[in-house]
Structure 1
Amino acid sequence: MSSPTDDLGYQALRLDRVGQAEAFDAIGDRYDDAFPHKEGQVQAAEWLSRSLPAGSRVLDLGCGTGLPTARQLADAGLEVVGVDLSNRMVELARDRVPEAAFHRVDIADLRPGGPCDLGRFDAVAAFFSLLMLPRAEIPLALRTVRHLLRPGGLFTLSMVEADLDDFPLPFLGGRIRVSGYLRDDLRGVVEAEGFVIVDEASYSYAPASADVQPEEHIFLRCRRAD
């Protein structure tokens, strides 16, 4: 595993975000209507709420509109910080969860020595945010999450089960690039970066939008291995 002094390996990569944030800027309010069924996400956030004492700091990584996760965690008495690459998503989240703090930040900016230091957290939630990265960057993002977590901190994430790497797909009238893993491969990547998987769930999902294909969603509940 990389140490904080070597930038977690980011220096060796050329980060490409072209079009990713812009796709979500264009979607705006339509995002929640297009993805109304979020049972797995809600249940994973409930696990965090049950497992953490009131006032614990939680990072919503890729917060989107703030619904349902940031709203749910704030209602549970947790101190919520959300980050997203899309300006429009951050604006919507600030409006919908005004008691939380939201920032337009790239996950790479949160690495040790990066340009944005938001402190340490008791838990991190990353629902469908890591799939926006190429596979070469996902282990680095997981190392960043581990760095952000206090010892014993909790981490819950979701991914679409698919053997894809930075693959372009139509998305609500726009286009995004996504990555995915098959189930066993996802487990292996997460465990290799210093997490213990304590629970797992999967959900078959058919988005409301006609241009988004049915998907299998994998949710992992993890603890930072110390």
Structure 2
Amino acid sequence: MQAVAFDAIGARYCEAFPAKHGQLAAGHRLLSELPPGAPVLDIGCGAGDPTLRQLVEGGLAVTAIDLSDGMLSLARRRAPGATAYHRMDLYDLATPRAETAWGLPELGPAGAGRFAGAAAFFSLILLPQQEIRVALRRIRTLLRPGGLLALGLVEADLDDYPLRFLGQEIRISGFLREELTEVLRQAGFTVEALSGRPYAPACTTLPPEEQLFLHCRRAG
């Protein structure tokens, strides 16, 4: 179970990825287009640094979700002031399971159109490619018409690929940028900006990667 792996990894995740200029820039763009107090969903908030803290300090009303209890505990300490912190599987967003399994009806079908924006930085990569497609459609459901999505993924043609990371086995997926743009279009988003940034993790067991940051808008 990936959540168990991230419970074990904990704060070491931030140590492996200390420089997050691309993610901060993507968060800044989200802040620049949303009014203070706008409701935003941080999907897979991790330890809360930098995005959750950035959005909270920027005046947005942020609901943070993550499946790892350990990560949520760090997020509460590092980024206090969010509207809510919830443990749930992001794949259950906008489905009845949000209420029946997690006790969160506001993140199920009843929450359709609830959020002005959402951020998902390197959380969707933990799903198989087909589940990423489904998850994007479910995120769209929770956004208002014209709602924004700030997205971060790794550019790679990988589907549920096993990887050893900080002593734990995780499974990751990715798309090449042209396919990712089409995946987002099919999920009901318009990609307004896309930037790629080479990144060398501060962990010698991981190869350099190309990180993709996308600024998307719900179409329709």
TM-score when scaled to structure 1? Answer: 0.90
Among residues 68, 84, 107, which one is paired with 2:90 in the alignment? 107
Among residues 43, 60, 72, which one is paired with 1:90 in the alignment? 72
The one-letter code sitting in structure 2 at the alignment partner of 1:174 is Q
Q: Let me know the Cα RMSD of the aligned residues.
A: 1.0
- Give the deviation of 1:71 after TM superposition: 0.4
Indicate if the aligned counterparts of 2:160 and 2:171 stay in contact, CA closer than 8 A: yes
- Give the deviation of 1:37 after TM superposition: 1.0
Where 1:91 maps in the other structure, the secondary structure is helix
Residue 194 of structure 2 corresponds to: 200
The one-letter code sitting in structure 2 at the alignment partner of 1:92 is L
Indicate if the aligned counterparts of 2:93 and 2:135 stay in contact, CA closer than 8 A: no
The one-letter code sitting in structure 2 at the alignment partner of 1:103 is H
Indicate if the aligned counterparts of 1:205 and 1:216 stay in contact, CA closer than 8 A: yes
Structure 2: distance between partners of 1:148 and 1:158: 19
Residue 167 of structure 1 corresponds to: 161
Where 1:98 maps in the other structure, the secondary structure is coil
Structure 1: distance between partners of 2:199 and 2:8: 23
Cα distance per residue 1:109-131 (max 9 Å; x no partner) = 22233323333110010001111
- Give the deviation of 1:108 after TM superposition: 2.3
The one-letter code sitting in structure 2 at the alignment partner of 1:210 is T
Structure 2: distance between partners of 1:180 and 1:108: 16
Indicate if the aligned counterparts of 1:107 and 1:141 stay in contact, CA closer than 8 A: yes
Where 1:222 maps in the other structure, the secondary structure is strand
Greater mean deviation of Cα atoms: 114-123 or 67-76: 114-123
2:55 matched to 1:73?
A: yes
Residue 7 of structure 1 corresponds to: none
- Give the deviation of 1:156 after TM superposition: 1.1
2:151 matched to 1:184?
A: no
Indicate if the aligned counterparts of 1:172 and 1:212 stay in contact, CA closer than 8 A: no
* Consecutive unaligned residues in structure 1, runs of 5 or more: 1-17
Structure 2: distance between partners of 1:76 and 1:70: 10
Structure 2: distance between partners of 1:112 and 1:28: 28
Where 1:204 maps in the other structure, the secondary structure is strand
Indicate if the aligned counterparts of 1:110 and 1:144 stay in contact, CA closer than 8 A: yes
Where 1:201 maps in the other structure, the secondary structure is strand
Instruction: Indicate the percent of aligned positions where both proteins have the same amino acid.
Output: 54
